[in-house]
């Protein structure tokens, strides 16, 4: 099981101030910030532990590139490593269940994740993301995750940067109902291109920041998707709103989905499409993840240590 939203929940907390450069990566250096992060991630840990489901947590490093760290005045800090160690301490507090918690080092695109026109070229992305990939790899994470990717060019270069670390890694796209990335690239072409871009191809692919109904349509689309896509894409971190990225970007309010409906529809992707990793993205909280966990267990998804 994947975790639920983190940044969106922090954004709604009046006691928390997100950084204009790092978003939430700086919070590990603030007492109130550490408490807020621990409450959110600890809640997801508690749900997974209660239902006996393995859990994938992501480091709060979505924007922790070298350039952004410097702009935030933290260039003398090991921001990526400190965020991993923070999560690792939470994991160690779970006793024997800690062996079933995996921590991925999180990266994303350099610009707006809903703006494919801001994407870097392959060469630019390989250079830009290489430093953070190396930092996360050295910190001790179990694997790397590049998420919320809107365009093929930057995804390809980012994947090459992750491959260079030697760690297993996952690439996660934002998808449209027609089975394409936000830049219009068919999912089949995207998977084939990234797989072929390095001898050390991704462990698998995910879709995130996408509603379950959109994900289902995208994977079953006869033109954008394919048998290869359904083999290589192994899961979804789902939004609660069935809106386009453009509509979400311009929405003044958080659009939530009933937790029961969310849990049932996302868990059904395991039964219907064989998805192996399911969790939440924008709009989700403990209620949605608990509902998802319950439906997964009802399907027999508990995996023994």
Residue 281 annotated in ligand binding: yes
Cα–Cα distance measured from residue 139 to residue 122, given in angstroms and rounded to the nearest whole number: 25
Residue 20: count other Cβ atoms within 10 Å of its Cβ: 10
Cα–Cα distance measured from residue 7 to residue 83, given in angstroms and rounded to the nearest whole number: 14
Cα–Cα distance measured from residue 58 to residue 46, given in angstroms and rounded to the nearest whole number: 16
DSSP state, residue 171: E
Q: Which residues contact 30 (CB under 8 A, 6 or more apart)?
A: none
Cα–Cα distance measured from residue 177 to residue 57, given in angstroms and rounded to the nearest whole number: 27
What does DSSP say about strands 277-280 and 175-176: parallel, antiparallel, or unpaired?
Answer: unpaired
Q: Considering only CA atoms, which of 303, 217, 228, 221 is closest in space to residue 265?
A: 217
DSSP-derived 3-state class of residue 304: coil
DSSP-derived 3-state class of residue 2: strand
**Cβ–Cβ < 8 Å for 191, 152:** no
Q: Considering only CA atoms, which of 279, 188, 199, 173 is closest in space to residue 226?
A: 188
Residue 94 annotated in ligand binding: no
DSSP-derived 3-state class of residue 290: helix
DSSP E strands: which ranges in 72-165? 101-108, 143-149
Residue 109 annotated in ligand binding: no
Q: CA 7: distance to chain centroid?
A: 11
**Cβ–Cβ < 8 Å for 231, 274:** no
Cα–Cα distance measured from residue 177 to residue 254, given in angstroms and rounded to the nearest whole number: 21
Q: Which residues are annotated as a binding site?
A: 209, 281-282
Q: Which residues are annotated as a binding site for Zn(2+)?
A: 209, 281-282
């Amino acid at each position: 099981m994947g975790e639920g939203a983190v940044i969106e929940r922090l954004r709604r907390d009046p006691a928390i101030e997100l950084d204009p450069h790092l978003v939430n990566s700086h919070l590990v250096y603030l007492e109130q910030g550490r408490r807020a992060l621990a409450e959110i991630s600890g809640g997801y840990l508690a749900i997974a532990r209660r239902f006996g489901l393995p859990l994938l947590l992501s480091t709060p490093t979505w924007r922790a590139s070298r350039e952004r760290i410097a702009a935030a005045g933290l260039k003398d800090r090991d921001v990526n490593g400190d965020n991993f160690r923070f999560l690792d301490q939470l994991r160690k507090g779970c006793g024997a269940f800690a062996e079933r918690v995996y921590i991925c080092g999180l990266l994303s695109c350099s610009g707006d994740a809903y703006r494919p026109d801001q994407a870097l070229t392959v060469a630019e992305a390989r250079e830009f993301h290489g430093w953070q990939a190396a930092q996360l790899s050295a910190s001790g994470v179990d694997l790397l995750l590049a998420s919320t990717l809107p365009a093929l060019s930057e995804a390809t270069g980012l994947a090459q940067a992750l491959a260079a670390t030697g760690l297993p890694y996952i690439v996660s796209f934002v998808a449209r109902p027609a089975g394409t990335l936000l830049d219009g690239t068919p999912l089949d072409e995207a998977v084939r291109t990234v797989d072929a871009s390095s001898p050390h191809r991704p462990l698998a692919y995910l879709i995130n920041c996408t509603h379950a109904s959109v994900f289902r349509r995208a994977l079953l689309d006869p033109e954008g998707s394919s048998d290869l896509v359904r083999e290589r894409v192994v899961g979804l971190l789902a939004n609660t709103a069935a809106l386009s990225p453009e509509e979400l970007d311009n929405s003044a309010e958080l659009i939530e989905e009933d937790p029961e409906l969310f849990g049932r529809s996302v868990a059904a992707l395991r039964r219907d499409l064989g998805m192996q990793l399911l969790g939440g993205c924008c709009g989700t909280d403990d209620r949605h993840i608990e509902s998802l966990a319950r439906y997964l267990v009802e399907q027999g998804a508990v995996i023994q240590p």
